Structure 1
Amino acid sequence: MKRLLEGLVENNRVYTAGGKVASYIPELGKANKDSLGIWITTLQGEEYFAGDFEERFTIQSISKVITLMLAILDNGKEYVFKKVGMEATADAFNSIINLETKNPQRPLNPMINSGAIATVSLIAGDGRDNTFERILKFTRKITGNPDININEDVYHSESITGDRNRALAYFMKSTGVIENDVEDVLDVYFKQCSIEGTCKDIARVGAVLANNGVLPWSGERIIPVYVARIVKTIMLTCGMYDASGDAAVKIGIPCKSGVGGGILAAAPGRMGIGVFGPALDQKGNSSGGMRLLEELSKELDLSIF
Structure 2
Amino acid sequence: MADADGDGEFGVDRILADIHGLVAQNTGGEVADYIPELSKMDPTPFGIAVTTVGGAVHGIGDTQAPFTIQSTSKAFTYCMALEAIGRAKVLERVGVEPSGDPFNAIEFDPVTRRPYNPMVNAGAITVAGILRDVHGDAAFDEVLARLSAAAGRRLVLDEAVYRSEAATGHRNRAIGHLLVSVGALAEPMEPALDLYFRQCSISVTARDLATMAATIANMGDQPVTGREVFDIAAVRDTQAVMFTCGMYDYSGNWAYDVGVPAKSGVGGGIMGVVNRQLGIGTFSPRLDRKGNSVRGVESFRLLSAELGLHAFDLTNPGSAFVDSFFAGAGRS
TM-score of the superposition, structure 1-length normalised? 0.96
- Give the CA deviation at 1:224: 2.5
- Give the CA deviation at 1:125: 4.7
Amino acid at match of 1:83: R
CA–CA distance in structure 2, aligned partners of residues 25 and 11 of structure 1: 30
Amino acid at match of 1:136: L
Please state if 1:88 is matched with 2:98: yes
Please state if 1:79 is matched with 2:89: yes
- Give the CA deviation at 1:71: 0.6
Amino acid at match of 2:236: R
Q: Which among 119, 137, 140 is matched to residue 145 of structure 2?
A: 137
CA–CA distance in structure 1, aligned partners of residues 260 and 279 of structure 2: 10
- Percent of residue pairs identical: 40
Amino acid at match of 2:182: T
- Give the CA deviation at 1:126: 5.0
CA–CA distance in structure 1, aligned partners of residues 188 and 229 of structure 2: 29
- Give the CA deviation at 1:200: 1.2
Deviating above 4 A after TM superposition, structure 1's stretches of 4 or more consecutive aligned residues are: none
Query: What residue is the counterpart of 1:6 in the other structure?
Result: 17
**C-alpha distance after superposition, 1:265-299 (max 9, x if no partner):** 11112111110011000100001100001001111
Please state if 1:20 is matched with 2:27: no
Please state if 1:119 is matched with 2:127: yes
CA–CA distance in structure 1, aligned partners of residues 220 and 251 of structure 2: 23
Q: Which among 233, 239, 248 is matched to residue 255 of structure 2?
A: 248
Q: Which has the larger radius of gyration?
A: 2
Measured on the aligned residues, the alpha-carbon RMSD in Å equals: 1.2
Query: What residue is the counterpart of 1:277 in the other structure?
Result: 284
Please state if 1:33 is matched with 2:40: no
**Unmatched segments (≥5 aa) in structure 2:** 1-11, 313-332
CA–CA distance in structure 1, aligned partners of residues 310 and 100 of structure 2: 23
CA–CA distance in structure 1, aligned partners of residues 91 and 283 of structure 2: 30
Q: Which among 60, 64, 74 is matched to residue 54 of structure 1?
A: 64
Q: Answer yes or no: is the 8 Å Cα contact 1:14–1:288 preserved in 2.
A: no
SS in 2 for 1:181: coil
Query: What residue is the counterpart of 2:324 in the other structure?
Result: none
- Alignment length (residue pairs): 300
Amino acid at match of 1:159: A
CA–CA distance in structure 2, aligned partners of residues 260 and 38 of structure 1: 15
CA–CA distance in structure 2, aligned partners of residues 79 and 153 of structure 1: 35
**Unmatched segments (≥5 aa) in structure 1:** none
CA–CA distance in structure 2, aligned partners of residues 209 and 18 of structure 1: 31
- Give the CA deviation at 1:218: 3.0
- Give the CA deviation at 1:14: 2.6
Q: Answer yes or no: is the 8 Å Cα contact 1:281–1:287 preserved in 2.
A: yes
**Of the two structures, which has the highest relative contact order with CA contacts closer than 8 Å and spacing of 6 or more?**
1
Question: What is the correspondence of 1:188-267 to structure 2 with a 5 Å cutoff?
Answer: 188-267=195-274
CA–CA distance in structure 1, aligned partners of residues 251 and 192 of structure 2: 27
Please state if 1:44 is matched with 2:54: yes
Q: Answer yes or no: is the 8 Å Cα contact 2:152–2:225 preserved in 1.
A: no
Q: Answer yes or no: is the 8 Å Cα contact 1:259–1:285 preserved in 2.
A: yes
CA–CA distance in structure 2, aligned partners of residues 38 and 126 of structure 1: 35
Query: What residue is the counterpart of 1:107 in the other structure?
Result: 115
